[in-house]
Each structure stands twice: as C-alpha cells, then as structure tokens.
C-alpha cells in the first residue's frame, strides 16, 4: 500500500513538473516571440513605442522595449539634425554663390578699365585670385557636407574606366599645357575586354580630378603626370603618377586629413580638402586609395575601384 502511494505521489510530482516546464516554455516562447517581433520592427524601421504595458511583460522584455525605444528616439534626432544640416548647407550655397560671382564679374570689369595703372591691375589680379580661392573653398565644403550628411547619395553602377579617364584627360590637358606640365594617358589594352568597374561616374570624376589637380600643382614645370590603369580580378586600379616634390613617410598618413597641407606645399594654391573628399568618395563606393611616395621622388596615388 505504501509503495502504491509513493508511486502515485511520484507520478503527481512528475506531472506537476512537466506542467510547470510546459508553462515556463509557453511563457518563454511568448516573450521571445514578442522580443523577436520588436527586433524585426526595429531593423525595418517600423518600431513604435505604443501598445506597451509593463504588467504583461517580463523584465527582459521591458528592458528590450525601453532600449529600442531610446534607439528610435535617437534615430529621430539624427534625422532632424540631418534635415537641419541640409537646410544650412543649402542656405550657405545659395547665399554665397551670387556675391562671389559678382566679385569675379567686378574684377573682370576693373581689368578692362584702361585708366588703371600697373599697381592697380596687380591689386585687381590679387583680388581675383583670392576670390577664386574662396569660391573653391566654399564649393568644396558644400560638397563635403552634403556627402557626409547623406544629402548626396552615391549610386555606383558598372561603367567604363576608359571612358572616364578619357574625359578626365580631356578636362585637364588644357590646364597642363598652360602651366607647362606633360600630362599623359596610358590605357593598357589587353585586346580582350574593356576595363570596367562599379562606381558613381560623376563623383568618381570629382575624386580623380582632385588627385590630378594636385599632381599638376605639385609638379615642377616640364614635369610629367601619367594616368594609367591596371586590371585585377576584384578591382580596377587607376594610377596617377607624378615626378613632383613627393611626400615624406611621416606625412603620408596625414595627407588625406581634412584641411591638411604639407609644409613642402605652403607656397602652392589649395585649401587641403581635395584628397579628403577623394578618399570619402572612393571609400563610399567600396574602393580605396593607396599612396606610394618619397620626398623629392614624386608620388603615385592608386585608386582601387570595385571590378564590374
């Protein structure tokens, strides 16, 4: 009889344990299911702080909800700040464009004034030069701000590297000739297929233009700037090589910094933002830029674009 009671008691305990385990499993599954749904909503950007009751939620579920709610609030703040930056950048661009254009126009009119003596013409030329620098600086800052704040989105697609470089060469050949530099375009044709890569044509042109412009500025008269290509399985490489003043090893890691200017180039025109903007553009396309240089031995900027 005693054995029968013990057996019944054991069975009851086992059933209770199974029931308890089942209740815990069902409750845990429900909690995990709700947390899973909250995470899915957060990932898709549809998470909402509504329909929240701490009475029916576990501590873990409550903490998860509060964490995601804070993240959603932070996201809203970022979006509001981005909208404010967009407005400020647009205002700066609009408010400065007309005055600078007028200043350049006035300098042109002054240069045509026959009554100006040599000293006056020299002063007008300096005003024109400084106004041009100001225009370039503001334009570069606006482009950088738009890129960094997400106002401008790059849209990479498969494009011909050859066509891009031919356009680049056509743009800078007159500048090279006017300043006494030799600009060469060396496209290595393997005779099989055209070199292509995945990039945003407009913005990659901007990045390469900044590098070529620097190469021409920092190369002495009668110096050489060569644009060439190399094909890799995963990348298309564009080399921009010059035999100019070069860059020391200590400065190589800093030349891509915003507003950084080498001590060797203080007498050259520029504001120190071109290489920074070039690196930002190329990296956002999934590529990168490598620099090989020695002081006094010229420099090679290698731009790696994802292969098509």
Query: pLDDT tens digits, residue range 265-276?
Result: 555 655 667 888
Residue range 221-229: mean pLDDT, rounded:
91
Name the more confident of 38 and 296.
296
Range name among 20-29, 106-115, 164-173, 238-247 with the lowest pLDDT average: 20-29
* Phi, psi values for residue 161, rounded to 5°: -70, -35
Name the more confident of 295 and 209.
209
For position 69, what pLDDT does the model report? 65
pLDDT of residue 108 exceeding 80: yes
Helix boundaries (H) for 192-253: 201-217, 249-252
Q: What is the pTM of this model?
A: 0.61
Name the more confident of 92 and 185.
185
For position 15, what pLDDT does the model report? 59
Which helix (H) or strand (E) segment is 37 a member of? helix 2-44
CB distance 164 to 126 below 8 Å:
no
pLDDT of residue 70 exceeding 80: no
Query: CB atoms < 10 A from the CB of 133, how many?
Result: 13
Q: pLDDT band at residue 184, thresholds of 50, 70 and 90?
A: very high
The separation between CA 125 and the C-alpha centre of its own chain, rounded to angstroms, equals: 35
Q: What does the alpha-carbon distance between residue 252 and residue 11 come to, in Å, rounded to a whole number?
A: 78
Q: pLDDT band at residue 106, thresholds of 50, 70 and 90?
A: confident
Strand-pair category, 182-186 with 224-231: parallel
CB distance 88 to 59 below 8 Å:
no
Question: Helices 201-217 and 274-284 sit at what angle, rounded to 10 degrees?
Answer: 150
Residue range 234-247: mean pLDDT, rounded:
90
Locate 9 and state its tokens: 């008691």
Residue range 95-110: mean pLDDT, rounded:
80
Q: What does the alpha-carbon distance between residue 240 and residue 167 come to, in Å, rounded to a whole number?
A: 15
Greatest mean pLDDT among 82-91, 145-154, 295-304: 295-304
pLDDT of residue 306 exceeding 60: yes
């Amino acid at each position: 009889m005693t054995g029968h009671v013990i057996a019944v008691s054991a069975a009851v305990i086992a059933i209770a344990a199974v029931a308890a385990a089942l209740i815990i499993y069902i409750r845990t599954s429900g909690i995990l299911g709700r947390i899973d749904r909250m995470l899915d909503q957060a990932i898709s950007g549809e998470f909402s702080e509504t329909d929240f009751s701490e009475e029916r939620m576990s501590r873990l579920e409550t903490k998860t909800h509060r964490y995601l709610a804070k993240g959603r609030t932070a996201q809203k703040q970022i979006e509001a700040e981005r909208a404010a930056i967009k407005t400020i950048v647009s205002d700066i661009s609009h408010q400065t464009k007309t005055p600078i254009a007028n200043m350049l126009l006035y300098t042109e009119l002054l240069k045509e004034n026959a009554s100006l003596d040599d000293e006056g013409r020299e002063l007008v030329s300096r005003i024109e030069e400084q106004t041009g620098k100001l225009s370039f600086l503001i334009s570069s800052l606006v482009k950088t701000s738009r890129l960094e704040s997400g106002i401008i989105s790059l849209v990479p697609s498969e494009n011909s590297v050859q066509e891009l470089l031919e356009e680049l060469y056509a743009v800078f050949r007159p500048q090279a000739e006017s300043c006494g530099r030799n600009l060469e375009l060396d496209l290595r044709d393997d005779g099989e297929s055209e070199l292509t890569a995945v990039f945003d044509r407009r913005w990659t042109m901007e990045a390469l233009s900044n590098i070529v412009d620097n190469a021409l500025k920092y190369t002495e008269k009668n110096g050489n700037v060569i644009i060439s290509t190399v094909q890799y399985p995963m990348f298309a490489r564009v080399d921009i090589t010059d035999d100019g003043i070069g860059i020391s090893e200590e400065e190589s890691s800093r030349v891509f910094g915003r507003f950084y200017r080498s001590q060797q180039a203080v007498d050259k025109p520029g504001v120190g933002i071109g290489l920074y903007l070039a690196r930002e553009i190329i990296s956002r396309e999934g590529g990168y830029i490598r620099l090989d240089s020695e002081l006094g031995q010229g420099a090679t900027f290698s731009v790696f674009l994802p292969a098509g």
